[in-house]
Structure 1
Amino acid sequence: MPPVTVITGGSRGIGAATARRLSADGHRVAISYVQAGGPAEELAREIVGAGGRCVAVRADTTMQADVDRLFDLAGQELGVVTGLVNNAGITGPLGRLADLSGDTLRRVVEVNVVGYLLCAQRAARQMATSAGGAGGAIVNISSAAATLGSPNEYVHYAASKGAVDSMTVGLAKELAPEGIRVNAVAPGIIQTEIHAAMGDPDRPQRLAGRIPAGRPGEPAEIAAAIAWLLGPDSSFTTGAVVRVAGGL
C-alpha cells in the first residue's frame, strides 16, 4: 500500500507545497484547513487531476473531536495513515510582546503547541506497533525563530516553536520503540502568505539582506526536506530538527 499522510494546514504555503511534493512521491494525502476551504478543495482537485489521491477536511486542530474526524476520514478515504505533517500554525500580528492581547497569545499557543500535541497523540495511538499499528513518521514544522527569539516581532511565536522542538526530541525518544520516527523542519524566512497575515506582506524581500543566502526560501524547498524525513532514506533519523533557513 502507498503511504498515507495527514498534512495539517495543507491548503496553502508550505502545507500546499508539501501536499504536491508528497503526492508526486506516491503518497495519498489528507489536507486540513480551518478557513481556506476554497484553496483546499482546489488543491485536492489539482492532485486528483494529476492522478493522485487527496481529501480536504475542515478541522480545527486545537479541538480533539476535529483531530479525530480528520484522521478517521483520512483512514476511510485513503487507507491506513502512516505519516503526519504538523504544519498548521499562526503568528498573530507582528509586535512587541507587551503590546499583544492575551487572546492572541493564547490562540498562538493553542494552534502551534496544543494542536501539534493533539495530532501527534492521535498519530502515535494509531501507528504504534504495540497497538497493532505498522509504525510511521511524524514531521513537525518548527521555525528558525525558536533559536533566534524574534525580538520586536513575535517572541510569542518563537516560544511556541521552541516548544515544538522540545516536543520533537522527547517524542522521538518515546516513540522509537513503537516504530515511529519524529523529526522537525525549521524554516527561516519563506515566501508564503503568512507574512501578509501578520501584517507585513513585503517582509521576505525587506529582510532578504539579513539572510546569508541572500534571498527568502520557497515553500517547495521546505517540502523537499519534509519529504526526505518521511521517506525511507531517513530511516535512521529521529529526534532531528533540520534547519532550512538559508544560513540564518
Structure 2
Amino acid sequence: MTDHLTDPTTKHHAEPFPRQEQQPPGLTPAMSPQPDHGEHSYRGHERLAGRRALITGGDSGIGRAVAIAFAREGADVAISYLPAEQSDAEETARWVEDAGRRVELLPGDLREEQHCTDLVDRTCDALGGLDLLVLNAAHQRDRGGIDEIPSDDFDAVMRTNLYATVFLARAAVPRMPAGSSIITTSSIQGFDPSSRLVDYAMTKAALVAFTRALAEELGPRGIRVNSVAPGPIWTPLIPATGWPDKLPKFGQDTPLGRAGQPAELAGAYVYLASDDASYTSGAILPVTGGKPL
C-alpha cells in the first residue's frame, strides 16, 4: 500500500510559471499561480505554545507561511513589512487570528536603524516579550553585470538583508531569555551564487557567517541561532526580481523538477524554533528541492 505517500515532484505546481513581472516589493494577489502558504494544510501540535515571535517580511511568501505555522503551533506573532505591503500583511494577520493567536502589524522600513530598534520595543510591549526572532526580509534584483548595479539599489540590498539583521539582533538579544531562538533566512545563493544576483548572493553568504558566529556567542546564554537556506521558492520576490523571461524555467533545474512553495519551508522554521531542536545551533538547514549547498 503506497496511497498514503505523496510524490514530492507533483505535490505542488510543477508546470512552467507564466511570464509576469511586478515592481518591488511585489504583492501576492498579482501572482499567477497563487503561492501556497499552508493556509489549508498546516496542522499545529502546540510545539510553540506561549512563545512570542517577531517575523520580518512576515506579510507574504516564506514569512506568511512561518507566521501561519507559528500561530497554529501556539505562538503570538508580530509581523514586520513595508507600508506598500499592507494588504498582504492584513491577509497574514487574518490567518494568525483565525488560529486564535494575537498578531501585531508593524509597518516600516528595515533600512532605518531606529525603526529596527522600535520593532523590538513594540513587539515586546504588544506580546509581553520576545523569544523567537525570524530574520527573513530580503531584497533582490536581476543584475546584468557588475558595471550595471545602481549604487542606491545596491545600498537597499545591503541595508535590507544585512544591516537590518544586525540592527534587529543587537536590539533583541538583551530582551531574549534562555530558551529563545533566532532564525535567519539565508539561501542556496550563499553557497552557489548566480552572477545575476551577485549582491543578493553576497548578503546570503554573509548571513551564513553571521548565523554561525552568533550561535557561538549566544550558546552559553541558552539562545540558539540557526538558518534556513531556501532554494527556488515561489514568492512575490520572484516576479519582482525583474526576470520575466526566466520564470518558465524557475525551479525546473532542481532534482525534484519544480520550484518550492512557501508552505514547504514552514516545518523547517517550526523545528528550529521548537524544543525539538534544543541541541541544534549554528545549523544551516537546506530546503532546496534537492540542490546541494
Q: For residue 78 of structure 1, report the CA deviation from its aligned partner.
A: 1.4
The correspondence for 1:109, drawn from 140, 151, 158, is 158
In the alignment, does 2:230 pair up with 1:191? no
Q: For residue 114 of structure 1, report the CA deviation from its aligned partner.
A: 0.6
Aligned to 1:36: 85
- TM-score, normalising length: structure 2: 0.79
The correspondence for 1:161, drawn from 204, 215, 221, is 204
What SS is found at the alignment partner of 2:257?
coil
Give the letter for the 1:7 counterpart.
I
- Alpha-carbon deviations, 1:5-43, whole Å to 9, x = none? 100011000001110011011111100111201221232
Aligned to 1:130: none
Q: For residue 59 of structure 1, report the CA deviation from its aligned partner.
A: 2.7
Alpha-carbon contact 1:204-1:216 (below 8 Å) kept: no
* Residues 202, 78 of structure 1: alpha-carbon distance in 2 compared, 3 angstrom cutoff: farther
The correspondence for 2:187, drawn from 143, 153, 159, is 143
How far apart in 1 are the matches of 2:285 and 2:245? 26
- TM-score, normalising length: structure 1: 0.93
In the alignment, does 2:133 pair up with 1:84? yes
Alpha-carbon contact 1:33-1:58 (below 8 Å) kept: yes
- Alpha-carbon deviations, 1:124-163, whole Å to 9, x = none? 1211xxxxx3441000000000111112x21111011000
What SS is found at the alignment partner of 1:227?
helix
What SS is found at the alignment partner of 2:166?
helix
Aligned to 2:280: 237
Q: For residue 205 of structure 1, report the CA deviation from its aligned partner.
A: 4.1
Aligned to 2:122: 73
Aligned to 1:125: 174
What SS is found at the alignment partner of 2:191?
helix
The correspondence for 1:96, drawn from 145, 151, 171, is 145
Aligned to 2:66: 18
Q: For residue 201 of structure 1, report the CA deviation from its aligned partner.
A: 4.8
How far apart in 1 are the matches of 2:210 and 2:216? 10
Q: For residue 245 of structure 1, report the CA deviation from its aligned partner.
A: 0.4
How far apart in 2 are the matches of 1:26 and 1:203? 39
* Residues 241, 186 of structure 1: alpha-carbon distance in 2 compared, 3 angstrom cutoff: same
Residue segments in structure 2 that go unaligned for 5+ positions in a row: 1-48
Aligned to 2:33: none
In the alignment, does 2:254 pair up with 1:211? yes
What SS is found at the alignment partner of 1:32?
strand
Q: For residue 210 of structure 1, report the CA deviation from its aligned partner.
A: 1.2
How far apart in 2 are the matches of 1:239 and 1:201? 36
Q: For residue 48 of structure 1, report the CA deviation from its aligned partner.
A: 1.2
What SS is found at the alignment partner of 2:218?
helix
How far apart in 1 are the matches of 2:244 and 2:59? 18
- Alpha-carbon deviations, 1:161-212, whole Å to 9, x = none? 0000000000000000111100000000001111111113574541333111
Alpha-carbon contact 1:97-1:156 (below 8 Å) kept: no
Q: How much is the aligned-residue C-alpha RMSD, in angstroms?
A: 1.5
Give the letter for the 2:98 counterpart.
G
More helix per residue: 1
How far apart in 1 are the matches of 2:174 and 2:111? 17
Of residues 89-98 and 139-148 in structure 1, the stretch that sits farther from structure 2 once superposed is 89-98
Larger radius of gyration: 2
Residue segments in structure 1 that go unaligned for 5+ positions in a row: 128-132
Of residues 97-106 and 169-178 in structure 1, the stretch that sits farther from structure 2 once superposed is 97-106
- Alpha-carbon deviations, 1:23-81, whole Å to 9, x = none? 01111110011120122123213321331211110132222221122122211221210
How far apart in 2 are the matches of 1:136 and 1:202? 42
Aligned to 2:57: 9
* Residues 3, 202 of structure 1: alpha-carbon distance in 2 compared, 3 angstrom cutoff: farther
Alpha-carbon contact 1:139-1:185 (below 8 Å) kept: yes
Alpha-carbon contact 2:59-2:81 (below 8 Å) kept: yes
What SS is found at the alignment partner of 1:140?
strand
Aligned to 2:39: none
